[in-house]
Structure 1
Amino acid sequence: MVTIWSDWRVGETPGAEEQPSREGLRSRFQQDYDRLLFSTPVRRLSDKTQVWPMDANDGVRTRLTHSHEVANLARSIGTRIYGAQSQLFSGVDLHQVIQPMLSAIGLAHDLGNPPFGHQGEAAIGRWFELRKDWIFTNHGKGSRGLPVSIPDEMHPEFLKFDGNPQTLRLISKLQTNIAHLGLDLTTATLVAAIKYPVSAANRDKNNKIAKKYGYFESERALVERLRSDTGLAEGQRHPLTWIMEACDDIAYSVLDVDDAMKKGVISPDDVLASLRADDKTKSHEAVRKAQTKFEEIECAGRRPELARDIKIGYLRAYFIDALIEHASRGYVLAGKAINAFSHRTPLMDDSDLCDKLKELARQHAFGNPGVLRMEAYGAEAIDGLMSAFWDAIHDRPTEDFENILARRSGAKSKYVFALISQNYIEDAARSAQAPGIAGSVRYRELRLLTDMLSGMTDSFAIKLWDDVKDMQ
């Protein structure tokens, strides 16, 4: 049966009458969450940047804590919406379907991000930008042309590298599985994890859910299978994806500011003063409640350092509650359009409070000199590692050009190639059988390169670069 709540797995063949087998008391969506929770890519998030790269303060968020918080927020919002209008979810079970799906896609949403967050994405894109005059068409700079070039419409997969499609690739293909199915999640969970439901060729800067691409050419056949099971088409977003996106915005706006306060970059009093000074937020209920509570805290006679931490806790609680309510209300109001796939505006786009907090995060967290310094060092490491891994991947005898598994020619190339995960190498070799460009050797080389770089943690990338650059 075709349904956006399909609990078939990709390796199964749905039938008109049969139902997937159930293992124990857990639904397949609960199993999806568990498979993600215990996976290696989730553990690696503990050493990937949220805002503060490789920070010594253990109270500051990593991508792992951020992802757990997004999963928690998504489950909370889904529960509120279900309580208000359960019919928006086609009457499916809250505990067996909605909550575990939201927990799963919230936990998974950043798995494809490279080290050093969005600056890591930009560094990968810059590396390709500097080589775009030959890397998609020629063997090397100034050398002969490739048997099969990468078409222009696919260049953004590399020039505008993005962690979102890498997430789908990681959980559906790159994790080891006897049938090469990654974590073998349900088709509904996989399709709900696609934030931007279009290919690179179909990006539309005027459409907020299609402004970026959500899957690589290498996963086109998978996406077609997901859509066959769920009934979704190109450009149609799963309803739960709207909630996951809103929760990422809430976490970014509130919790990144929370980290800046914990580090002493900005005080809770400064945050509140900024909100009270802005005409768009000064009358917000959460701001008024925080002001009242701050006055109570100051009258309580607590030591300044303790009063500061108490204030931070109240700001976080009031702001999260306000934004959860905003997202929930927005979903209920837009529910019919969301289910009809005609809705286009993210749930938090009309939240002045969310916008102001994002502005504070950009100013005091992402714009902090310490963050910028570490991002610059990380960008240098990514650039150098990409060059080293590219040389190793491409260093094969001419007669073995089509065989990615061929023996490397130079000693350094042999060493660097040996560092690449066997999961990634296996996929690059197996994908020679993929149809179209995805099976071409250059496309597979470049996917192998970005698989390796995006899979690294921050400290591993720095340590490996310190090792490899000494061999230059």
Structure 2
Amino acid sequence: MNWNSLLSAQREFMEHKKSDIRNAFQRDYDRIIFSNIFRRLQNKTQVFPLPGSKMVHNRLTHSLEVASVGRSIARIVSKKLCDKYGKDFLHEIYDIDTIVSAACLAHDLGNPPFGHSGEETISSYFKEGPGKDLEKHIPEYQWSDLISFEGNANAFRQLTHQFAGRRQGGMSLTYATLATLIKYPYPSFNKKGKKKYNIFHSEIDTFKKVMDGCGIVCLDEETLAYARHPLSYMMEAADDICYLILDMEDAHKRGIVPTEKIDFFFTSFFRENESWFFDRKDFIYETVTDNNERMSFLRATAINKLVDCVSTVFIENYDSIMEGTFQNSLVHHLPDFENNALSECRQFSLRNIYKHPSVVKVELTGFNVIGELLDMFVKAALQPEKTYNKKLLSIIPEQFKNDNGDLYSKIQVVLDYISNMTDLYAVQLYKDLKGF
């Protein structure tokens, strides 16, 4: 793979624009951040309930912070590559920080209400719930999209699908930004035991155009498995760093995790010989008495440390990344010391944060609300001629409707509508339809 192709500014629908001081990738960033679908993330759960008296992350603030971290990783990598290959190399990779930050902004756009529990609810509905009876009417290669509904694949769909009344090419982002968004470059029916994938059957043609347009290696033409775009590793690392560190900070603000624990975990990223950190920490603790401010310092320095580390991992594995043979994530290849510290944070979060009653209650709410809405609208889509169902389907905005008569497409109309809901909208619609 080469950067000239990887940084393709090609779009699915190329507009004839007047001169613009922004380049193609800056326009990508701006299109995402000004879009309605991005704005809706402010009312989608990250981990903890919304709204609340404590200011914790929602999907919007999380995405903005991931974009910031992703930009930093890309800039450090750019500098390291130029140091290694000469300053002329900068012309080849000049825009990678903008591309990575744009993809980071978009990485959660496909998540349904209530976070990952929303994904699980949709999957469960078709895999073991009322929707299971539809399996015999839908081809296996489409059914796999439904029984393992994936927010990553839905993000690609939301960005590329031409919804009714909307312009060609969806948001019409560059191929480089779209390819950077793809962490799992294969469709659902070929994920081969893996939990995640990035492409619904309905977007396969667009997926192939994007990957081929960027000159990305196709690993298996029969299964449509591709190598990853090199920049996708940076986006993934930014997301990994942010959610692991910032979920702990949010848990501290909610009083779930004591200050001493946060201090211990965030300090564990630094070796004893990194005296600059301990000197700075002592100074902060002597001059700052607010625990939240102290934790903000520890959070910032931990993130900076991990950003430097994953940037180094990218450079060390540059050849295999460019060849399409690199395996796993950048975080997975951290040095043992930092990897152990991050693993401890992850294990603690799994035991004490993600299983906390306040988090579980959100998940249960999601199961009930999304499950009920899904059941009502799917049944209506199957029998649209009934009076009640006609009224119910009239609620769905025109942009999500299509004229395709197959069952898979009818279900996608419902999933497009529900996955675009905010948590608050979903709850209110549920109450309205149930007469509460």
Which secondary structure state, in structure 1, belongs to the residue aligned with residue 95 of structure 2? helix
- Equivalent residues in 2 for 1:288-299, closer than 5 Å: 295-299=282-286
2:21 aligns to what? 25
Checking the alignment, whether the CA contact within 8 Å between 1:272 and 1:287 is kept in structure 2 is no
- Equivalent residues in 2 for 1:191-202, closer than 5 Å: 191-202=179-190
Deviates more, 1:152-161 or 1:239-248: 152-161
1:444 aligns to what? 409
- Equivalent residues in 2 for 1:127-206, closer than 5 Å: 127-129=125-127, 130-131=129-130, 133-137=132-136, 149-173=137-161, 179-205=167-193
Checking the alignment, whether the CA contact within 8 Å between 1:70 and 1:107 is kept in structure 2 is yes
Alpha-carbon distance in 1 for matches of 2:244, 2:344:
8
* CA positional deviation for 1:361: 2.7
Q: Percent identity?
A: 29
- Equivalent residues in 2 for 1:2-21, closer than 5 Å: 3-12=5-14
Alpha-carbon distance in 1 for matches of 2:272, 2:51:
34
* CA positional deviation for 1:235: 2.2
Aligned length: 419
Q: Pick from 81, 88, 103: which aligns with 1:85? A: 81
Alpha-carbon distance in 2 for matches of 1:288, 1:272:
16
Checking the alignment, whether the CA contact within 8 Å between 1:196 and 1:211 is kept in structure 2 is no
Assess, with a 3 A threshold, how the Cα gap between structure 1 residues 182 and 445 changes in structure 2: closer, same or farther: same
Assess, with a 3 A threshold, how the Cα gap between structure 1 residues 37 and 352 changes in structure 2: closer, same or farther: same
Which secondary structure state, in structure 2, belongs to the residue aligned with residue 136 of structure 1? helix
* CA positional deviation for 1:134: 2.0
- Equivalent residues in 2 for 1:263-412, closer than 5 Å: 263-273=254-264, 281=268, 284=271, 295-300=282-287, 303=289, 306=290, 308-349=291-332, 350=334, 351-396=339-384, 408-411=385-388
Q: Pick from 33, 48, 72: which aligns with 2:68? A: 72
- Equivalent residues in 2 for 1:214-293, closer than 5 Å: 214-232=198-216, 233=218, 234-273=225-264, 281=268, 284=271
Alpha-carbon distance in 2 for matches of 1:186, 1:22:
17
Alpha-carbon distance in 1 for matches of 2:269, 2:298:
14
Which one has a bigger Cα radius of gyration?
1
Match for 2:245: what amino acid? V
Assess, with a 3 A threshold, how the Cα gap between structure 1 residues 464 and 21 changes in structure 2: closer, same or farther: closer
Match for 2:249: what amino acid? D
Match for 1:470: what amino acid? G
Checking the alignment, whether the CA contact within 8 Å between 2:54 and 2:253 is kept in structure 1 is no
* CA positional deviation for 1:150: 2.3
* CA positional deviation for 1:256: 0.8
Give a deviation string over 1:214-233, Cα, whole Å, max 9, x none: 11110011112213322222
Assess, with a 3 A threshold, how the Cα gap between structure 1 residues 4 and 176 changes in structure 2: closer, same or farther: farther
Deviates more, 1:82-91 or 1:31-40: 82-91
Alpha-carbon distance in 2 for matches of 1:343, 1:22:
41
Which secondary structure state, in structure 1, belongs to the residue aligned with residue 134 of structure 2? coil
Which secondary structure state, in structure 1, belongs to the residue aligned with residue 52 of structure 2? coil
Q: Give 5+ residue unaligned stretches, structure 2.
A: 219-224
* CA positional deviation for 1:241: 0.3
Match for 2:144: what amino acid? P
Checking the alignment, whether the CA contact within 8 Å between 2:285 and 2:294 is kept in structure 1 is no
Deviates more, 1:39-48 or 1:284-293: 284-293
Scaled by the length of structure 1, what TM-score is found? 0.82
Alpha-carbon distance in 2 for matches of 1:21, 1:89:
32
Alpha-carbon distance in 1 for matches of 2:86, 2:232:
14
Assess, with a 3 A threshold, how the Cα gap between structure 1 residues 421 and 90 changes in structure 2: closer, same or farther: farther
